[in-house]
Structure 1
Amino acid sequence: MQEKDVNQNEQEEVIEDAEQELVSDEETATVTQTDVSEEEIQALQAEKDDLQNRLLRVQAEYDNFRKRTKKEKEADLKYKSQSVVTELLPVLDNFERALQVEVDDQAAKGVVDGLAMVYRQLKTVLENEGVSEIETDGQYFDPNLHQAVMQVEEEGFESNQIVDTMQKGYQLKDRVIRPAMVKVNQ
């Protein structure tokens, strides 16, 4: 019987200890809840909102950067041959001048025919790259495509109409590489 009393006493002590721990845990929880003030909660909420806004801005900036980089790469690919074409335009002009020479000798005609073949081949290569000649015959002056070198008064032409082309102009796809140098009627 004494054993039962001892066991019962031990059980009661364990229960009392558990109750005391429970009460102290509740007091600690109450103290921690009251330690965090409303001001601190608002400050933490404001900081969270600020960080979220900054994150959204960084994401938007990154998206804009990615789109801009993609457009720049596309433009670079579209106009990749511009520097080479710009260097070849004077060569094309010189071919045209050489082909305008009148020759009577049979050997010279063979050379001119060879030059004409090379000229056509060069022109075909440039056209395949997207190079096109700017139209001037019968056109009206457009400052985006033409460069007026002279103004003249010619019969049979309207005001602001191109009279003569001094130097051909070229564009690569939709970009003007060299404007056409023209005479314009007043």
Structure 2
Amino acid sequence: MTEEEKKVNEEEPAQPSPAKAEEGKATEKKAESSAHVTHHEHEALKEQLEKAQADCKANLDGWQRERAEFSNYKKRIDRENAQLNQTITGSIIKKYLVILDDMELALKSKPASGEGAAWAAGIELISRKLQAILDAEGIERINQNKVPFDPNLHEAISNEEIEGFESGEVIEVVRQGYKLGDRILRPAMVRVAR
């Protein structure tokens, strides 16, 4: 290319070729068409999003309710298991209370010395071990004198006129009562002042 041709090319603005011009017009029409479709698609996507968000919220609410229900179920099962354990423990221990009563009666008449003293010491040791087992299981004695008679804790075997006691007061516990937590295993047999 000569210098003159270069100058002419530089002075004249570049004219697009007819093929390129038609290609540009087609691209513009396509863009306008895309914008129109995009608006409709946008509305459809917006509706889908709102529906998905509503479904998500409903699922979350359902999940939270189920989680709370499961937590309550678990607490109820734990509570029922604790009550069942307490009931089973109580029913087993009740059977041994009679033996403990007999040992305590035997110890009230134990000989101070002689041949029976060794046996009495053995019975006393066994009685203390049984009481330690009861204590370990959380079983408490109902053993109080000079307290108001409570029909939930006591079983009155006599009603006596005694000086130094007010009416309705426990004079003496004849047979020990026992309780496990709030549950009475056996009421205490008591003498009550009139």
Q: TM-score w.r.t. structure 1 length?
A: 0.67
**Residue in structure 2 matched with residue 98 of structure 1 by the alignment:** 106
Q: 1:8 to 1:183 in 2, by over 3 A?
A: farther
Structure 2 portions without partners, runs of 5+ = 1-13
Q: Distance in 2 between matches of 1:183 and 1:112?
A: 28
**What is the letter of the counterpart of residue 96 of structure 2?**
L
- Check conservation: 2:179, 2:186, Cα contact below 8 A: yes
**Residue in structure 1 matched with residue 67 of structure 2 by the alignment:** 59
Greater Cα radius of gyration, structure 1 or 2: 2
Which residue among 144, 152, 160 is the counterpart of 1:153?
Answer: 160
Q: Distance in 1 between matches of 2:113 and 2:44?
A: 109
**Residue in structure 1 matched with residue 124 of structure 2 by the alignment:** 116
**Residue in structure 2 matched with residue 22 of structure 1 by the alignment:** 31
- Check conservation: 2:86, 2:180, Cα contact below 8 A: no
Note the alpha carbon deviations across 1:89-114, whole angstroms, 9 max, x for none: 22211211232345699333322222
Q: Distance in 1 between matches of 2:70 and 2:92?
A: 34
Q: 1:52 to 1:132 in 2, by over 3 A?
A: closer
Q: 1:100 to 1:153 in 2, by over 3 A?
A: closer
Indicate yes or no: 2:20 matched with 1:11: yes
Note the alpha carbon deviations across 1:23-65, whole angstroms, 9 max, x for none: 2222223334566899x99877765554443333233334444
Q: Distance in 2 between matches of 1:185 and 1:48?
A: 71
Range moving further from structure 2, 65-74 or 133-142: 65-74
**Residue in structure 2 matched with residue 134 of structure 1 by the alignment:** 142
Aligned with 2:148: secondary structure? coil
- Check conservation: 1:154, 1:163, Cα contact below 8 A: no
**What is the letter of the counterpart of residue 167 of structure 1?**
R
Q: 1:79 to 1:150 in 2, by over 3 A?
A: closer
Structure 1 portions without partners, runs of 5+ = none
Q: Distance in 1 between matches of 2:148 and 2:51?
A: 69
Q: 1:81 to 1:153 in 2, by over 3 A?
A: closer
Q: Distance in 1 between matches of 2:44 and 2:113?
A: 109
- Between the aligned residues of both structures, percent identity stands at 27
Number of residues of Structure 1 aligned to a counterpart in Structure 2? 180
**How much has 1:88 moved relative to structure 2?**
2.6
When the two chains are superposed, the root-mean-square deviation of aligned CA atoms in Å is 4.1
**What is the letter of the counterpart of residue 35 of structure 2?**
E
